[in-house]
A = this chain, B = another copy of it.
Amino acid sequence: MNLPALINGQPADSIAITDRGLQYGDGLFETIAVVDGRLLCWPEHMARLEEGCRRLSLLLPDTQQLHDEAQQVASDAGRAVLKLTLTRGSAGRGYAPAPAAIPNRIISLHPWPEYPQQYHTEGVRVRLCTNRLASNPLLAGIKHLNRLEQVLARGEWSEPDVAEGLMLDGDGNVIEGTMSNLFVVRHGILETPDVVNAGIAGIIRGRVLAAAHDLDIDAMIATLDLHDIEAAEELFLCNSLIGIWPVRAVGDKTFAPGALTRRLRDYLVRQDWISPD
C-alpha cells in the first residue's frame, strides 16, 4: 500500500517514538469518507475534533489548513478513506501533558473497505461482544486514541459472515457496535443509546438524528438493554464508511430490513452525507 500521507503538511510515513499518541494514546482521530475527491461531512468531523480538543486540552489546528491538507491527500481519490489523527506531539516521558507540546497532524489515505453489496439491501448479521465499554463521562463521546476496548471486542470473532459486534456498558446497557452506532425503531419511534458515559458520538449518528428531524420522524436518545433490542421493529448500524446497514440478525434473533431504515438511508445519500454504495 503506497497511498499518500502528510504529517504536519509534509509527505511522511513515520513519526517520532516520543510522540504522545504512541506513548499514551494521547490524541484524537477522524475517519472520513472520500467520494470523488469530496470529504463527506467535513464540518461535522471538524466539530467533533474541536470538542475532542476541548476535552483533552489540545490545541486545535487551523481547520482551513487541515482542510487544505486533507484535500491535497484526497485529490486523486475516487472513493477512499481519509484518516486524520491529531496527537499531543512529542514531549518527555511522563503523563503530564506538557503545555509546550505542539500537536502533530497526520493525514493518510486508505483503501475503501469492500463490504458485500447485500449488507445495504438485506442487512448484516451481528453478534454480542463479551468485552464491555467502561464508563468515563470525561472521555465518552469523543474519538480519542484509546481504543483497546474496541480492538479486544473486534478480536472476539473471525467469522466472515458476522459484520459487527454490539458492546454493552458495565450495567448491561447496549451502547454501540465496535465501529458503528446503533439505532432501533420501537413503537414507530427511532431510538439510539446515549453516549455521555461510554461510546462515541458518531458523525452519521448525528446525521441520522438530523435526518429524522428533517423528515418529521419521532426520535429520541434512550437507555436500551438487550430485551429492548430483541423487541425492536427495525435495527440498523451506521458510520461514516458503511453509511447505514440494516441488521438482519443479532445472534439467533432475526429482523427484517425496515421501511424507516431505508427512508433514512435514502435521505442521507441524497444529502451527500454517506456514499451511495
Q: Can you list, as one digit per residue, whether each of A1-33 has a CB less than 8 Å from chain B (1) or not (0)?
A: 100010100001111111111111110010100
Given known contacts A17-B5, A21-B22, A139 and B148 CB-to-CB distance under 8 angstroms: yes
Task: Choose, from A116-124, A151-159, A188-196, the stretch at the interface.
Answer: A151-159
A178 interfacial contact with B, CB 8 Å: yes
Q: How far is the CB of A27 from chain B (nearest CB, A)?
A: 8
A131 interfacial contact with B, CB 8 Å: yes
A226 interfacial contact with B, CB 8 Å: no
Q: How far is the CB of A237 from chain B (nearest CB, A)?
A: 14
Cα A149 to Cα B25 in complex, Å, equals 10
Cα A92 to Cα B109 in complex, Å, equals 11
Cα A15 to Cα B85 in complex, Å, equals 15
A67 interfacial contact with B, CB 8 Å: no
Contact for A24 among B19, B25, B139, CB less than 8 A: B25
Cα A253 to Cα B20 in complex, Å, equals 34
A138 interfacial contact with B, CB 8 Å: yes
Q: How many copies of this chain?
A: 2
Interface bracket on A: 35 or more
- CB pair A131–B135 under 8 Å, yes or no, is no
Given known contacts A14-B15, A56-B152, A110-B92, A147 and B26 CB-to-CB distance under 8 angstroms: yes
Chain B residues near A16: list those with CB within 8 A: 13-14
Cα A88 to Cα B22 in complex, Å, equals 12
Contact for A148 among B13, B146, B150, CB less than 8 A: B146
- CB pair B154–A95 under 8 Å, yes or no, is yes
Chain B residues near A85: list those with CB within 8 A: 17, 22-23
The residue among A25, A93, A138 with the most chain B CB atoms within 10 A of its own CB is A25
A211 interfacial contact with B, CB 8 Å: no
- CB pair A22–B113 under 8 Å, yes or no, is no
Contact for A134 among B134, B144, B179, CB less than 8 A: B134
The residue among A22, A87, A145, A179 with the most chain B CB atoms within 10 A of its own CB is A22
Chain B residues near A136: list those with CB within 8 A: 132, 134, 149, 170
| For the complex of A and B, 8 pairs with smallest distance between CB atoms | A25-B25, A134-B134, A146-B146, A24-B147, A95-B154, A134-B136, A14-B14, A22-B22
Given contacts A12-B17, A13-B17, A139-B148, 17 further A-B contacts (CB under 8 A): A5-B17, A7-B17, A14-B16, A19-B22, A24-B25, A24-B145, A24-B147, A25-B25, A83-B93, A93-B110, A95-B150, A95-B179, A134-B136, A135-B170, A139-B149, A145-B148, A146-B148
